[in-house]
């Protein structure tokens, strides 16, 4: 891996991910870079950093001897080369060639002799001077080298032929002379050959020797050539457009590069391309046309940042804030919608009160003729109702969101609002159906959302559905084998696409599933996931995961940690308007307290009765069943078996489905053991 100081984000990530895989194999990965490179992989235990110091006199002499094929140079000239090159290998090589080719030396059988005094020999003072001296002596070739340098360090025969405008014979002769001079290397045979400048500094010397006007002309002509090549990368075209001073065309190319990267998805590449587009756009002036373009770019980079850094990341928040400022300046409500969504979703994930932001978005969406944003608004309101514990209202809104979704018109919502609205709404239908006491329908809706996500083929949507829409309902349905399967798939997806939020959530669900199945304690995965969520400020998801962590701590016999994390959850719940899991929080806290003395058992009973009351107020039949089952078991333990049966039987009797699920099976077994 050469010149890693110019590395792109995806290749850097490839290196970082490969290190764990190669550390037990017979693999050598050699990376060269300037000392300025700062890379996270440098601290990996299998990485050894070697500083390449300047060459000593002996090594310098060895290079000179190779260039001269063993023939001696005058000692004074050798001293001059050693002093001026200061042990830089490329400079040693190029200066030696420069003085040999200067015409001031006479070659004998075993040496090169000066024809005059050393002072008469123009020894180049710098590497650039040395390279230019060699190019200048290649009459008729320098122009081809300069033209090739405009393309880049590597170039193909077809492109240099189109750009140089020479006959095939003249071009072939010039390239051959560059090859003979070892300034350029070739792979393949023309017209299918590719070429590579010997070193980036050789290319730079040729490029910098061009007059600026000529340079601009060549970049513009090269851009036209690349426009006719369907395989030309848009980011390459963007660089040449910028070098040609063609800002509008550079903007188009950078945006195209970002859109392509987002679709692959290569989120880090997308961010880099969109940020370049924003930079170019900002330089085109304050006209409303460019403000409108820049606003759209901030929305797109925000979508990529959501996937990689999370909804709460500073960069994500900045992107949507800037998008809203520009939308206000342009005065177009349709532009405000994606920005308003971004401003809602960040604090939503953070776990703060977002009801006012949700109402603001919905008001903007209702004022627009476009139906897609209104579908998104239904989903937003449905989520707000869910977290307020208003599950029937939430389900009705999610049903409307699914019914009003039109695949032909609304498929592009994923690119503007983070994920596909139909797949997400089906996930939230599953949430509500389970809570309201319809576990079989919830399980079917899980499969529906997962199937739709796969058809949509939008990576962030798939991550959301695997964790939010599949993992959570399957946890509630007590299906650990299926939770493990979806969590492992989500982890692979998150690792492949650098999606930190879904990676953290999948870790927690995997840990819970492993512990439930007795395969492993699962606590390491859960704790790692919770740490990541805390670092990202994803308080909402952290709250929804705490009961899983508490269960795992209890299962592992770590009751103090379980008590501590439940206490932390109680503090969080007290500070935000989060009612969706309040009933289950009290139930889990009661399960811990039941293990203590009489005083703690009294507190446990109080918590269970409070859980029961909340669940009934919310019409949350599944949560009511869990609280009634645990309270009935507690009553039965102290001999109040009739009261236990009278409590649990009516709750169980209100179910019309799901009798094979774990919660209902446990309740049925308890009822069977109680008096009829």
Query: pLDDT (tens digit, 9 = 90+) per residue, 260-295?
Result: 998 888 888 999 999 999 999 999 988 889 999 999
**Last residue within a domain, chosen from 134, 149, 174:** 134
Residues 25 and 104 grouped into a single domain? no
The whole-angstrom separation of Cα 295 and Cα 290 is 8
Are the CB atoms for 177 and 138 separated by under 8 Å? Answer: yes
Between 204-208, 549-553, 615-619, the lowest mean confidence (pLDDT) is in 549-553
Residues 37 and 88 grouped into a single domain? no
Residues 260 and 364 grouped into a single domain? yes
The CA–CA distances, whole Å, from 13 to 8, 39, 276, 335 equal 9, 10, 20, 34
Residue 34, sorted as left (phi over 0), alpha (psi -120 to 50) or beta, turns out to be beta
pLDDT top residue among 515 and 140 = 515
Tokens of 242: 């910028």
The whole-angstrom separation of Cα 385 and Cα 387 is 6
Q: Tell me, yes or no, whether 119 lies in a domain.
A: yes
Residue 245, sorted as left (phi over 0), alpha (psi -120 to 50) or beta, turns out to be left
**Last residue within a domain, chosen from 383, 416, 449:** 416
CATH number of the domain residue 397 falls in:
1.25.40.10
Tokens of 286: 């304050």
pLDDT top residue among 674 and 124 = 674
Pairs from 225-233 (Cβ < 8 Å, separation ≥ 24): 225/159, 225/162, 225/163, 226/159, 233/257
Q: Tell me, yes or no, whether 82 lies in a domain.
A: yes
Cis peptide leading into residue 668 (ω within 30°) = no
The pLDDT of 341-360, averaged and rounded, is 87
Tokens of 623: 């949560």
Are the CB atoms for 572 and 593 separated by under 8 Å? Answer: no
Maximum CA extent, the chain:
120
**Last residue within a domain, chosen from 365, 384, 416:** 416
The whole-angstrom separation of Cα 193 and Cα 182 is 16
Structural domain span for residue 358: 247-416
Q: Model-level pTM?
A: 0.74
Q: Tell me, yes or no, whether 486 lies in a domain.
A: no
Q: Tell me, yes or no, whether 399 lies in a domain.
A: yes
pLDDT tier for residue 239 given thresholds of 50, 70 and 90: very high
Residues 305 and 390 grouped into a single domain? yes
Half-sphere exposure of 421 (CA within 13 A, CB side): 33
| pLDDT for 572 | 64
Q: Tell me, yes or no, whether 349 lies in a domain.
A: yes
The whole-angstrom separation of Cα 114 and Cα 75 is 11
The CA–CA distances, whole Å, from 458 to 254, 288, 424, 455 equal 21, 32, 12, 9
Q: Evaluate if residue 487 carries a pLDDT over 90.
A: yes
| pLDDT for 120 | 60
Are the CB atoms for 486 and 466 separated by under 8 Å? Answer: yes
Percentage above 70 pLDDT, the chain = 97
| pLDDT for 182 | 85
The whole-angstrom separation of Cα 440 and Cα 442 is 5
Residue 55 CB neighbours (<10 A): 19
The count of domains in the chain is 3
Q: Evaluate if residue 20 carries a pLDDT over 90.
A: no
| pLDDT for 397 | 96
Are the CB atoms for 203 and 152 separated by under 8 Å? Answer: yes
* Phi, psi for 185 (deg, rounded to 5): -115, 155
Residues 362 and 392 grouped into a single domain? yes
pLDDT tens track for 663-676: 999 999 999 998 86
Are the CB atoms for 493 and 463 separated by under 8 Å? Answer: yes
List the alpha helices (DSSP H) in 576-640. 582-593, 598-618, 621-637
Tokens of 490: 């989500």
Residue with tokens 């970049």: 219
The whole-angstrom separation of Cα 123 and Cα 73 is 14
Residues 15 and 114 grouped into a single domain? no
| pLDDT for 122 | 66
Q: Evaluate if residue 575 carries a pLDDT over 80.
A: no
Write the CB contacts of 134 (distance below 8 Å, at least 6 apart in sequence): 94, 97, 98, 101, 181, 183
The whole-angstrom separation of Cα 303 and Cα 527 is 28
The whole-angstrom separation of Cα 272 and Cα 97 is 41
Residues 21 and 72 grouped into a single domain? no
Are the CB atoms for 319 and 283 separated by under 8 Å? Answer: no
Residues 254 and 376 grouped into a single domain? yes
The pLDDT of 530-558, averaged and rounded, is 84
Q: Evaluate if residue 216 carries a pLDDT over 60.
A: yes
Q: Is the dihedral angle over the CA atoms 310, 399, 614, 470 positive or is it negative?
A: negative
Three-class secondary structure of residue 203 per DSSP: helix
The whole-angstrom separation of Cα 451 and Cα 423 is 8
Q: Evaluate if residue 251 carries a pLDDT over 90.
A: yes
The whole-angstrom separation of Cα 373 and Cα 365 is 6
Residues 289 and 384 grouped into a single domain? yes
Residues 291 and 355 grouped into a single domain? yes
pLDDT tens track for 624-657: 999 999 999 999 998 999 999 999 999 999 999 9
Between 297-306, 408-417, 571-580, the lowest mean confidence (pLDDT) is in 571-580
| pLDDT for 215 | 93
Q: Tell me, yes or no, whether 102 lies in a domain.
A: yes
Q: Evaluate if residue 429 carries a pLDDT over 80.
A: yes
Sheet holding 194-197, edge to edge: 154-156, 194-197, 184-187
CA triplet 568, 569, 575: central angle to 5 degrees?
A: 95
| pLDDT for 573 | 64
Residues 33 and 72 grouped into a single domain? no
Residue 599 CB neighbours (<10 A): 9
Are the CB atoms for 394 and 382 separated by under 8 Å? Answer: yes
Q: Tell me, yes or no, whether 26 lies in a domain.
A: yes
Q: Tell me, yes or no, whether 340 lies in a domain.
A: yes
Residue 669 CB neighbours (<10 A): 10
Are the CB atoms for 376 and 345 separated by under 8 Å? Answer: no
CA end-to-end span of the chain: 76
pLDDT tens track for 597-609: 677 888 899 999 9
Write the CB contacts of 526 (distance below 8 Å, at least 6 apart in sequence): 507, 508, 511, 512, 545, 548, 549, 552
pLDDT top residue among 159 and 333 = 159
Residues 20 and 96 grouped into a single domain? no
């Amino acid at each position: 891996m050469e010149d890693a100081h110019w590395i792109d984000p995806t290749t850097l990530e490839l290196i970082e991910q490969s290190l764990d895989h190669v550390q037990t194999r017979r693999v050598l990965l050699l990376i060269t870079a300037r000392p300025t490179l700062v890379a996270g992989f440098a601290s990996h235990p299998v990485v050894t950093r070697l500083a390449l110091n300047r060459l000593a006199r002996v090594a310098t002499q060895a290079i000179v001897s190779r260039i001269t094929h063993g023939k001696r140079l005058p000692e004074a000239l050798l001293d001059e080369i050693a002093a001026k090159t200061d042990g830089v290998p490329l400079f040693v090589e190029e200066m030696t060639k420069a003085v040999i080719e200067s015409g001031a030396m006479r070659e004998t059988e075993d040496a090169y002799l000066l024809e005059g005094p050393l002072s008469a020999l123009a020894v180049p003072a710098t590497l650039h001077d040395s390279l230019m001296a060699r190019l200048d002596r290649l009459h008729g070739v320098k122009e081809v080298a300069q033209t090739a340098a405009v393309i880049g360090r590597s170039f193909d025969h077809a492109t240099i032929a189109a750009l140089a405008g020479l006959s095939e014979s003249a071009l072939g002769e010039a390239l051959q002379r560059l090859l003979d001079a070892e300034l350029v290397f070739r792979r393949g045979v023309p017209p299918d050959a590719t070429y590579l400048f010997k070193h980036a500094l050789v290319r730079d010397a040729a490029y910098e020797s061009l007059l600026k006007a000529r340079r601009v002309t060549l970049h513009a002509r090269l851009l036209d050539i690349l426009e006719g090549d369907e395989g030309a990368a848009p980011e390459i075209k963007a660089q040449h457009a910028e070098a040609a001073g063609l800002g509008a065309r550079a903007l188009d190319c950078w945006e195209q590069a970002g859109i392509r990267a987002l679709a692959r998805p290569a989120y880090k590449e997308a961010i880099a391309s969109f940020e370049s587009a924003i930079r170019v756009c900002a330089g085109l002036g304050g006209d409303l046309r460019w403000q409108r373009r820049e606003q759209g770019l901030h929305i797109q980079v925000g979508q990529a940042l959501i996937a990689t850094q999370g909804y709460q990341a500073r960069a994500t928040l900045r992107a949507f804030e800037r998008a809203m400022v520009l939308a206000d300046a342009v005065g177009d409500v349709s532009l405000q919608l994606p920005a308003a969504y971004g401003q809602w979703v960040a604090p939503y994930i953070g776990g703060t009160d977002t009801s006012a932001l949700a109402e603001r978005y919905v008001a903007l969406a209702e004022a627009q003729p476009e139906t897609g944003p209104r579908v998104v608004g239904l989903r937003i309101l449905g989520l707000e109702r869910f977290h307020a514990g208003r599950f029937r209202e939430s389900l009705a809104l999610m049903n409307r969101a699914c019914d009003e979704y039109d695949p032909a018109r609304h498929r592009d919502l994923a690119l503007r609002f983070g994920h596909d609205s139909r797949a997400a709404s089906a996930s939230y239908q599953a949430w509500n159906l389970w809570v309201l006491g319809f576990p079989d329908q919830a399980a079917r809706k899980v499969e529906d959302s997962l199937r739709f996500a796969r058809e949509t083929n939008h990576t962030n949507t798939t991550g959301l559905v695997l964790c939010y829409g599949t993992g959570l309902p399957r946890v509630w349905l007590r299906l650990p084998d299926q939770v493990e399967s979806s969590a492992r798939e989500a982890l692979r997806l998150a690792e492949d696409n650098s999606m930190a939020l879904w990676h953290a959530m999948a870790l927690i669900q995997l840990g819970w599933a492993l512990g439930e199945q007795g395969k492993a304690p699962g606590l390491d995965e859960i704790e790692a996931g919770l740490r990541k969520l805390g670092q990202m400020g994803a308080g909402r998801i952290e709250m929804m995961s705490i009961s899983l962590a508490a269960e795992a701590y209890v299962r592992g016999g770590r009751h103090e940690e379980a008590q501590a994390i439940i206490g932390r959850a109680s503090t969080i719940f007290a500070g935000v308007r989060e009612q969706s899991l309040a009933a289950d929080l009290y139930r889990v806290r009661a399960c811990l307290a039941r293990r203590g003395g009489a005083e703690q058992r009294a507190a446990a009973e109080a918590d269970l009765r409070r859980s029961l009351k909340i669940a009934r107020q919310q019409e949350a039949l599944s949560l009511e069943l869990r609280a009634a089952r645990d309270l009935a078991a507690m009553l039965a333990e102290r001999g109040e078996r009739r009261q236990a049966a009278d409590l649990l039987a009516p709750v169980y009797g209100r179910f019309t489905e799901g009798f094979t699920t774990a919660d209902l099976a446990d309740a049925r077994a308890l009822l069977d053991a109680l008096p009829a």
